[in-house]
Amino acid sequence: MKKLILLICIMITSFTYSQTETERIIDKYSDKISQSFEEGLQKVAPVAEQGFEVAVRLQIAKGTVYMLGAIMLLTLILMTFFYKPLVKYIHEVSGGSIYGFVVVSFIPLGILLYNGITRLIAPEWFAIKEIIEMF
């Protein structure tokens, strides 16, 4: 029985020693690891700022493209009322009514206008949203 107790005491002592030794090693290298991590973040910060600026410019470009699409669609809608050959063509294709074409084309017009205006008003928000969606 004494041998068993002695064996248990030796195991507990060695386990305690290994834990403290491990903690000592972790403490020794944790400062170096955190310092290296901070240096890496300082190097990456300017690149991240430039990347965000590019993402904002991309959202402005997307908003501009949406607005141009909306202008082109609005021009097409207005041409259906004022340009006679186009009116004749739509009458032939649609069976005599251009109002169905006009009503249906207002749906994508609204979507394009909404996307274009919101991206031009708040490009930073859409840039952050896009960055978050990547991860």
Note the Cα 14 to chain centre separation in Å: 51
Whole-number pLDDT of residue 103: 77
Domain of 18 in residue numbering reads as 2-134
pTM: 0.61
Whole-number pLDDT of residue 49: 82
Whole-number pLDDT of residue 10: 62
Task: List all residues 6 or more positions away from 131 whose beta carbon is below 8 Å from its beta carbon.
Answer: 52, 55
Mean pLDDT by 10 residues, the chain (135 residues): 60 56 70 76 79 90 94 85 74 70 83 92 90 84
Query: What's the structural domain count of the chain?
Result: 1
